[in-house]
Amino acid sequence: MPLRRLFQDVRTPFGLLLLLAPVVGVLQYRGIALAATLALAGTVATYARVRRRLPRPSGPTLAIALLIPAWCLVSAAWAEAPGRAAATALTVGGFVLLAALALRALREEPAERLASMLPLLAIGLGTGILLASLDAMTGGLLRAGVRGGGPIPGVLAFGLKPAVSVIALLLPAVLALPRVPRAARLALVLAGLATALLLPAESAKIAAVAGLLAMGGAALLGRWVARGIGVALAAAFVAMPLLIHAALPALPPLEGRPLSAAHRILIWDWAVDRVEERPVLGWGGEASRTVPGGRDAFDAATLDRFGLTSPATRGWFSGPGAQRLPLHTHNIPLQIWLELGGVGAFLAAALMLRLGWRAGENGPGATGMLAAAAVIGMLSYGVWQEWWIGLLLMAAIIGELLGVLHRGRAAPPAG
């Protein structure tokens, strides 16, 4: 294809994102936010240049998704840091709207042209898996090079967790790709699973397995698997503080468990108490950074209650990295409750129901990605992290485009 025609093709920006996102996830994962923004904006701009108009997104999914940043914007009125809450709300809302515009532009392409674009994901993910493996074998040399060379800092040992999350999230989509030989798809999935299992990213390991199991279930049982996942996620968003409050006292002593896992459980315990103080409206958007007491260390009584008694463990929990609430709760439903209260939790539950419904319509690949994203979101990242939002929006678009092909027509009903 001549270069000029390539840059007049609506598919080109998103196709480049399919190629580059898994690689960026390895080398500098925060760059996924910028890569996604440029790709989505490029898709919309190309569409507008070719069609002489902007794409027109519509449908309940977009409306429900925008309600969450809208409520975050309202919560700036009582947030500890109102400027940060408002800026986050506008950024996330704009990101979601941009993704909806790009999706509408791509869905107007014939199914045949979409089928020829999506296999680029297999190339990108295969490259990302290879780079993640090489980086792990060289002790972080590739990522250190991207950061300017020099000595390899110890923190890079765990810096591949986001890369493994990217791999885990996208593996179900690879299995559903058109025009990629079955042997190649299976090889990619096996390589991705092996990489996830060998690298230090526990939640991503669970997510990789959960995503593939959900995809297999959807292939056998149909759309009700995705809808069941949506219902389960909605229930989790509504009931998360109650579930944590009931589960934590029944845990065995945490001494001897990985310290990062023990720390996460203590974070949840402390955050649930803060939720109980403001259960309806929450503390305001981005309040996880500013809730009073969140930067303090856990007291001895809390450590005793969870059986964390050895001198080594006490020393670790007295360090600067073991705060009560470092940046976010490592559990998206709990973070929503903490910051946006019960109102935000019910809005998020409505979105989960809608996403489950859409994934059921879009086929097994979309169902698997929904399950993988759910596991990662329950155990790892913050709800407002821009790179994570960019990755989720990219996955949502992939799922919708797979749905176009799954249903065998180029223009499904607006979602």
Kindly tell me the number of DSSP H helices and DSSP E strands found in the chain: 18, 0
Domain membership of residue 128 (yes or no) is yes
* Mean pLDDT, residues 272-299 taken together: 92
How do residues 287-301 score in pLDDT, each as one tens digit?
Answer: 998 899 888 989 999
Q: Is 200 helix (H, G, I), strand (E, B) or coil?
A: coil
Do 372 and 325 touch, CB atoms closer than 8 A?
Answer: no
Residue 90 pLDDT greater than 90, yes or no: yes
* Mean pLDDT, residues 371-377 taken together: 96
Number of domains composing the chain: 1
Domain membership of residue 285 (yes or no) is no
Whole-number pLDDT of residue 21: 98
Domain membership of residue 306 (yes or no) is no
**Separation CA 279–CA 118 (nearest Å):** 43
How do residues 156-208 score in pLDDT, each as one tens digit?
Answer: 555 789 999 999 999 999 999 999 999 999 999 999 999 998 888 888 999 99
**Separation CA 383–CA 114 (nearest Å):** 30
Q: Could you tell me the end-to-end alpha-carbon distance of the chain, in angstroms, rounded to an integer?
A: 32
Closest by Cα among 102, 165, 127, 80 to 382: 165
Domain membership of residue 314 (yes or no) is no
Domain membership of residue 69 (yes or no) is yes
Domain membership of residue 115 (yes or no) is yes
Residue showing tokens 């790009």 = 102
**Separation CA 259–CA 2 (nearest Å):** 55
Domain membership of residue 189 (yes or no) is yes
**Separation CA 307–CA 90 (nearest Å):** 43
Domain membership of residue 345 (yes or no) is yes
Give the Cα-Cα-Cα angle 234, 236, 241 (nearest 5 degrees).
135
**Separation CA 329–CA 333 (nearest Å):** 9
Range of 97's domain?
3-238+332-407
Grade residue 31 by pLDDT with cuts at 50, 70 and 90: very high
Grade residue 411 by pLDDT with cuts at 50, 70 and 90: very low
Residue 332 pLDDT greater than 80, yes or no: yes
How do residues 106-137 score in pLDDT, each as one tens digit?
Answer: 999 999 999 999 999 999 999 999 999 999 88
